[in-house]
Structure 1
Amino acid sequence: MNSDKWVSVKKIYKGWSSESKYIIKDCNNVKYILRISDIADYDKKKHEYGIIKKFSSLDFVMSKPVDFGICNNGKNTYMILSWVEGEDLEEALNQMSEQEQYEAGWRAGKILKQIHSIKVDDSDINDQSKKEKMLHKIDLYLKSGIRVEGDEAAVNYVRDHVHEINRLPKVYQHGDFHPGNLIHLCNSDVGVIDFNRNNVGDAYEEFFKLESFAVEVSIPYCRGQIDAYFDKNVPEIFWRILAVYVAYSSLNSIRWAIKFGQDEVDGMIRRCKASLEHYDNYKSVIPSWYSSF
């Protein structure tokens, strides 16, 4: 892509990513997103660009691949993607009726089902044991010095049920699928952005971000996403596996947030406490919010 045709470059500050992000506009008033990463991440970012190409063949609005390469005298990699025009879904949900929120979740659930439909290349399947990694990180949480009252229920649930995970075929994951990474389009459809956490793994793992970030925004949206994915026939195994991921992430995210400061740690502690309540200290595998709408 010829940068001589760019007429404006504006830095984006939102998000957790370590890479630098910019909105660029060309002489034809077309907008793109530019992502700059360290050259040490070249292989990782090249693979990410390839995954985005796979997703771009599907039938939904998303940040499509435009260009990828090396810049700044070999110090950085760049990725240019199409810009998805619209409003952050996380913000738009606050202006919708509960039925409209549910319908937005329904559209998102159908998109997620499409993402998971792509056949995974054998070369992309990681043989690393997810179970051992999760148990190790639970141990790190317990040693971190930051504990949540009643967290033993989550710890024990993970340890007792972690064998449930990875029982399904591997899928390509978006990796961070929640309203904060979705766009509300002018026709009320949903667009998808931010694929930088893409991965290969259990399809049901994608849903724990509902508990982490979406329930506090819109319960109808969360219900809609789940109902759409399963055509309103949610299997019991889904709830058992999801509860493992929710319990694990509710603890691990507290330790993860330390590097971002006390406010973020406090936010993750609040979410952990909410999860314990929603799952009745993991005596139930179906969160209470699911039946509240």
Structure 2
Amino acid sequence: MEPITKGWSNDKKYCVTKADGTKYLLRISSAEKYNSKKVEYEMMQKVAARGVPMCQPIEFGVCEDGVYSLQSWIDGRDAEETVSFISDTEQYRYGLEAGRILREIHSVPISHLQEDWEIRFNRKIDRKIGMYNNCPIKYENGQAFIKYIDENRHLLKGRPQCYQHGDYHIGNMMIDQSGKLFIIDFDRDDYGDPWEEFNRIVWCAQKAPLFASGMVDGYFDNDVPMDFWRLLALYISSNTLSSIPWAIPFGQNEIETMIKQAKDVLDWYDNMKNPIPTWYNHSISI
């Protein structure tokens, strides 16, 4: 068993190698998470059954250290590192694939009713605005995010909900030895507006704008509705507001990362006056 230290999850993660050389990913969580981890594992089974390229769920149960899940091992490199060394066309093509995979994840049926999305997300927005207002560190022109949110809350009305990966961005993707894209880390899975799932696309856009562009085009089959851009700007505004209070306990490096990200977002959206970000490039041909 070799420990894996990368990532933000509270799970203990290991690369486990059997005597015959077969590798697995072992995740161990605290015992009190049994119910939530069991549901997570069962949803992963449903996603895998749809052919989504991912760590295949193999076994779930209780062990001495808590709750475990055993998954297949992906032998490859982090997509986040790989995109820096590939052509623009390949970046865009991987983005297209990521968008199509996400659409497949969102097609997994959910069995129980969720609270109305408008009510639920407005409550989340109010909490995040409160966190930002009470935070000792403010963004330059951070009020632009709050103004945009207040002017566009009505877009939340009547939005559908689906199963979500919960942390869908290039940092949770891998490319295997054959060049195939895989999705990893379903431990933040959730339910909500399918378009909200794009709120982490800022990480993709900062690293590889063409990958981010392809992800949007792949999800919508190159027919992106304007309401998507308006809602995405709202979701990103909400996320950005809470990022700075979140970062403070982790130290100055994380604070500076979030301040830079907020500046990038304001640049992309012309201080939240244009809902289509400047990183979006629809002109590339493959």
Please tell me the TM-score bracket, short chain as reference.
over 0.9
Distance in 2 (CA, whole Å) between partners of 1:163 and 1:50 is 34
- Residue 177 of structure 1 and its aligned partner are, at CA, apart by 1.0
Match of 2:15 in 1: 23
Match of 1:4 in 2: none
Matching residue's letter, 1:30: T
Match of 2:166 in 1: 175
Distance in 2 (CA, whole Å) between partners of 1:69 and 1:147 is 45
CA offsets 1:1-53 (integer angstroms, 9 cap, x no match): xxxxxxxx010110011111111111121111111111121111111111111
Give the TM-score normalised by structure 1.
0.92
Match for residue 145 of structure 1 among 133, 136, 147? 136
- Residue 166 of structure 1 and its aligned partner are, at CA, apart by 5.7
Contact 1:184 1:191 in 2 (8 A): yes
Once structures 1 and 2 are overlaid, which stretch shifts more, 162-171 or 36-45?
162-171
Contact 2:155 2:231 in 1 (8 A): yes
- Residue 66 of structure 1 and its aligned partner are, at CA, apart by 1.1
Consecutive unaligned residues of structure 1, counting only runs of 5 or more, are 1-8
Match for residue 103 of structure 1 among 68, 93, 107? 93
Distance in 2 (CA, whole Å) between partners of 1:139 and 1:283 is 23
Matched, 1:261 2:246: no
SS in 1 for 2:279: helix
Distance in 1 (CA, whole Å) between partners of 2:30 and 2:141 is 41
Match of 2:155 in 1: 164
- Residue 126 of structure 1 and its aligned partner are, at CA, apart by 4.4
CA offsets 1:66-109 (integer angstroms, 9 cap, x no match): 1111111xx51111111122111001101100001000101111
- Residue 227 of structure 1 and its aligned partner are, at CA, apart by 0.5
- Residue 167 of structure 1 and its aligned partner are, at CA, apart by 3.2
Contact 2:80 2:170 in 1 (8 A): yes
Contact 1:207 1:242 in 2 (8 A): yes
Match of 2:6 in 1: 14
Distance in 1 (CA, whole Å) between partners of 2:95 and 2:139 is 31
Distance in 2 (CA, whole Å) between partners of 1:263 and 1:185 is 31
Q: Following superposition of structure 1 onto structure 2, how do residues 45-194 of structure 1 map, counting pairs within 5 Å?
A: 45-72=37-64, 75-122=65-112, 125-126=114-115, 129-165=120-156, 167-194=158-185
Contact 2:106 2:194 in 1 (8 A): yes
Give the TM-score normalised by structure 2.
0.94
Distance in 1 (CA, whole Å) between partners of 2:242 and 2:110 is 27
Match of 1:221 in 2: 211
Contact 2:26 2:68 in 1 (8 A): yes
C-alpha spacing 1:180/1:14, structure 2 compared with 1 (3 Å):
same
Contact 1:61 1:84 in 2 (8 A): no
Matched, 1:235 2:225: yes
Distance in 1 (CA, whole Å) between partners of 2:265 and 2:32 is 37
Contact 2:210 2:281 in 1 (8 A): no
Matching residue's letter, 2:154: H
Contact 1:205 1:245 in 2 (8 A): yes
Contact 1:89 1:184 in 2 (8 A): yes
Distance in 2 (CA, whole Å) between partners of 1:163 and 1:32 is 46
- Residue 210 of structure 1 and its aligned partner are, at CA, apart by 1.1
Consecutive unaligned residues of structure 2, counting only runs of 5 or more, are none
Contact 2:57 2:72 in 1 (8 A): yes
Distance in 2 (CA, whole Å) between partners of 1:209 and 1:30 is 33
Match for residue 196 of structure 1 among 181, 187, 190? 187
Instruction: State the number of aligned residues.
Output: 281
Distance in 1 (CA, whole Å) between partners of 2:124 and 2:198 is 19
The alignment-based identity, stated in percent, is 38
Distance in 1 (CA, whole Å) between partners of 2:42 and 2:130 is 35
Once structures 1 and 2 are overlaid, which stretch shifts more, 233-242 or 26-35?
26-35
